[in-house]
Structure 1
Amino acid sequence: MVFAKALRPLVLLLGLALAACSQTAPPLETSAMTADAGVYRLGSGDNVRVIVFGQQQLSGEFSVDGSGRLAMPLIGEVEAKGLTPRELEGRITTKLAEGYIRDPKVNVEVLTFRPFFIIGEVNKPGQYPYQSGMTALSAVAASGGYTYRARQDYVLITRTINGQRQERSAPPETPVLPEDVIRVPERFF
């Protein structure tokens, strides 16, 4: 009897711990995760192909450098970081039209995207190449799938939002962006 009374607080504490562990995923804060996911913004490390129609010597493949610029013949450095490919087309067109080429036609295509990173309860954590249209679930698949300990109802995504790195919980169908860090948490039971 004395032994049972001594175990009662321990059993109660264990019950509370189990209840806390078996709760569903934390509240999902996906609005910031999906707000900008449909628009690809260029950044350092991206490789692009720029085609200036009728001007083969100005066309070619260029890399966005560490300062967020790409160096082009004739017009020099062009700020690319944070721009969409269409916005970069407009910026190059404007620079070329300023006394270099009459009515330039420019096309920008992303050749190589920056990578994303995945850690936690996946079989092969690490850095992987981003592909347009990826979701957190397809990122998990690229990294060899979940481990047996993985929590599969949500992931934690660290992303730069309004200039600050933030970690948010998100469902597996959330779009992934380059430079995202996806963490698959461990389930407890």
Structure 2
Amino acid sequence: MDLVGGRIEDVDLSGLDAIVEEAEDEGDDHSEGVDDEETKVDLNEMDPSLPVSHIETPKISGQDLKLMMLAFMEQLPWLINRDLIDKAALDFVTNLNTRNNRKKLCQMMLEQYRNRLDLLPFYGRLVATLEPVMPDLALELSHALLQQFRAAVQNKKKQRVDWKIRCARFISELVCV
């Protein structure tokens, strides 16, 4: 996950030249290691009416967004603690929050890694974290899980038992969270 949206070249460094020149001019008269009261900038003296320079975030193209979503989905099964899941939720909300990406995430949680029951509590935490921001993800996932559960109960043929167990456990994880 790339937490920094831009490159180092995009950082606004205007105005830093004057500060460096003042520090060099006054630094010649004093020895190193001694703090000079005049060279420090007091944040309380700054005029609050001055506009703060806004950092413009670069526009992300559709191709970049698609690559970011693929990387997110590849990384999701390996996020196996609360902190990593919380960071992933924050990353998804800030960078990947589109309707198509929410549908892809829902499909991925339902269909991929069916044999990994250890992921279900973390998927439940991810959905619970994202639910206040995007309730449609939680609704879509819960409807799909209930549909799978009803199909498994109504189907009298022998279906894979592990799929039934996974469906029941996933529903229970979403209820517990």
Greater per-residue helix proportion: 2
- Fold shared, TM-score > 0.5 on shorter chain: no
Q: Considering only CA atoms, is the larger Rg found in Structure 1 or Structure 2? A: 2
TM-score by length of 2: 0.25
Provide TM-score, normalisation by structure 1: 0.24
